[in-house]
Amino acid sequence: MDDSEDYLALFFTECGELLADLQEQLDRLFDGERDPEIVNAAFRAVHSVKGGAAAFGFNDLIAFAHVFETVMDRVRGGALMLAPDVVGLFMRAGDVMEQLIEQARDGGEGDPETTARLRAELEELTGRSMADETDAEASSPAAEPEPEPASGEPAARTVTVTFRPGPDFIRAGHDPLRVIRAARDLDLVSAEPFGEVPPLDELDVESCPIGWTLRFETDRPGAELAAFFAVYALDAEIGLEDPGAGDVGVAAPSAPSAPGAAEGAEPEAPAAAAEPRGGATRGAASKTLRVEISRIDRLVNLVGEIVITQAVLAQKLSETDAATALEVAHSVEAMNRQTRELQESVMAIRAQPVKSVFSRMPRVVRDLADKLGKEARLILSGEHTEVDTTVIEELAEPLTHMLRNSMDHGLEGPDDREAAGKPRLGTIRLAAEHRGERVIIVIEDDGRGINRERVLEKAVENGLVSPDESMPAEEIDQLIFHPGFSTAQEVSSVSGRGVGMDVVKKKIQALGGRCSLRSTPGEGTRFQITLPLTLAVLDGMTVCVGDQRFILPLSSVVEALRIEAEAVEELPDRSQVLARRGEYLRLISLRKTLGVPGSERREEMAIVVDTETDGLVALLVDELIGQRQVVLKSLEANFRRVEGVSGATILGDGRVALILDVPSLVSTGARGRAPLQEMIH
């Protein structure tokens, strides 16, 4: 990859961050906030995208972004009221910018009609049409139209531009060298530097101490050159001297003075491309380093191998004589601490807030509300919950499907809601939180709930259940996850093809997670996604069942008890419960549930686990071996998916142990299945 491709990849990465920030600011405006700094932050995001696009010649993106920021500048200056219809237009303009960036990145024509329509709507808000004016003229009222000779064509001439980057030019995401290279396409013939470079020990690497005198031999209109340099006018001193128009100068949209600022004070410069985070000051911005994810993955794999090697060393040490073990014990313990610290540091590098995915969802809800004629709002919480970046990358599709389901099947139309005594505006809540070594994501609506009669009718029609079969409500609800299942009366652009919730379940399972739902007719539906924080390493409790060893995620383990015969009672259905401090816990034998061959050993230990959905349950095991850190290996990728198992790991003695999925395992135990018997044999 050459330098140009590196810069281009960096530009699109920064565009993603800037669009996320723009969307966040516009969402705040949509929710009714009117802090001037919100508009300033949104303006900076659009301006930074435009500045980067100018270096690569993405003209459609430049033109649209310029009109967009011009309208926002009128809002900042108080010339335009931030009414709800204006905010709505800004939201749609943000969507168009995202499409234009995708078009620039992936090629293709995009949707020029939508772009042109939105640009025309934005131009109407400027108070005058800009269709026949250049971007420079729009951003610089001082720039006069270029006079033309009698022939109607601009005359060839020498145009001189002084270009001196300001102290924040590079921090704003610009590159002087790329500006000069791009200017070659406008008939640049020479670039002479001026200014002094300070001694090396005094040089600020984030500033540009010199400027350039650029000479153009061209017959282009002066306005075209002015338009090119107007993109950088907020971050550089630029003067344009054209023989046909004199000293033109180049200006950019001005920023309003801060409250209490002196009249004539310099406008605020835009923040760096990666810095506009809700108006955070530049001094408070943290330094970041972009690293390819493949390098981080390699580091994670190496940490996993270190963990395994450490486990092997500890195993071998336990087999040596006591004297030798005592000599090495302290070193091994130190290595254990250092390994854990290294692992936690690497995991922290990979951890990213789910905000990057959550921020896309308000647009999904708005678009669906328009298509379906419904009124809805999306409430986000827990956006800063951090998850492994690999998990985050796979979340967008299932969350989109679940929101589509809530909008189409869950929320009623405004009139129906009003008739049912509900507010016309439906509410969907999307929340995330940490719970032990897992992250819980909840999508909850206040709609009509699942129509179980319709679901059962459709299931019978599709042959999923027999007409005379009796099913509990919870099992009927689970039918919506069946491939090809849909209760829609007719196929539409939103639903009806039976593709959606089955995709959600498969995606979540592929990530080592699970999806559950709870619905109350007339009140709403609640989906819960449970995912591992990381797909690399976890703390586990090793237990022995027969001749096999298994790992229980430590985050699920509450306590371990030694079984007393009098504490176990049998119920009429032959199931057992364990008396524990005044309460009774359901008792499940892992030997029977997993189909492990019998042994002479007696199941004498009970591991109390939290199933998250079914409360506390006690698991019967033969022996509790101890706690250890284990490296997760995907069972599905190397073998096949097995119910009740979330992965596998390599123990210190080289044996493979299965990592159990506690909630799924408890459900399996209730049905009396033995899904692992084939594997164990």
**Burial letters 323-347, b for 16+ CB under 10 A, else e:** eeeeeeeeebeebbeebeeebeebb
pLDDT digits (tens, 9 = 90+) for 150-172: 444 456 789 999 999 988 888 77
Residue spans per domain, the chain? 3-132, 157-255, 293-352, 354-532, 537-680
Cβ–Cβ contacts within 10 Å for residue 215, how many? 16
Angle at Cα 433 formed by Cα 388 and Cα 606, nearest 5°? 90
pLDDT tens-digit profile of 607-622? Answer: 998 876 678 899 999 8
| pLDDT tens digits for range 533-543 | 776 677 889 99
Q: Which one has a higher pLDDT value, 281 or 507?
A: 507
pLDDT at 2 over 70: no
**pLDDT number for residue 387:** 87
Among 307-321, 359-373, 403-417, 654-668, whose mean pLDDT is lowest?
A: 307-321
- pLDDT for 664 equals 78
Domain 3-132, second-level architecture: Up-down Bundle (1.20)
Task: Assign 269 a pLDDT band (cuts: 50, 70, 90).
Answer: very low
For residue 46, the model assigns a pLDDT of 92
Nearest Cα residue to 285 out of 297, 271, 298, 295: 271
Do 3-132 and 354-532 agree at the fold level? no
Sign of CA dihedral 26, 32, 38, 43: positive
Percent of the chain scoring above 70 in pLDDT:
81
Cα within 13 Å of Cα(275), Cβ side: 21
Fold of 537-680: OB fold (Dihydrolipoamide Acetyltransferase, E2P) (2.40.50)
> What CA–CA distance (Å, rounded) separates 661 from 675?
13
- For the stretch 274-292, pLDDT in tens is 336 333 333 333 455 667 7
Tell me which of 676 and 97 has the higher pLDDT: 97
**Mean per-residue pLDDT of the chain:** 79
Mean local confidence (pLDDT), 637-647:
77
Q: How far is CA 256 from the centre of its chain?
A: 33
The yes-or-no verdict on residue 192 having pLDDT over 70 is yes
Q: Flag whether pLDDT at 403 surpasses 70.
A: yes
CATH for 157-255 is 3.30.70
Q: What pLDDT was estimated at residue 121?
A: 92
Q: Is the pLDDT of residue 570 over 80?
A: yes
pLDDT reading at 272 higher than 50: no
The stretch 122-136 carries a mean pLDDT of: 58
The tens digit of pLDDT for each residue in 70-92 reads 899 889 888 889 998 899 899 99
Q: How far is residue 593's CA from residue 14's CA, in Å, rounded to a whole number?
A: 51
Instruction: Select from 3.40.50.2000, 3.40.50.620, 3.30.230.10, 3.30.565.10 the CATH code of 354-532.
Output: 3.30.565.10
Residue 493 confidence (pLDDT): 55
pTM for the full predicted model? 0.61
- Residue 550 has what pLDDT? 93
Q: Where are the beta strands (DSSP E) in 182-330?
A: 188-194, 211-218, 236-242, 246-247
What percentage of the chain carries pLDDT values higher than 90? 18
CATH class, domain 293-352, is mainly alpha
Which pLDDT belongs to residue 435?
Answer: 83
Alpha carbons within 13 A on the beta-carbon side of 37: 9
pLDDT at 277: 32
Residue 506 neighbours by CB distance under 10 Å? 15
397, containing H or E segment: helix 396-405
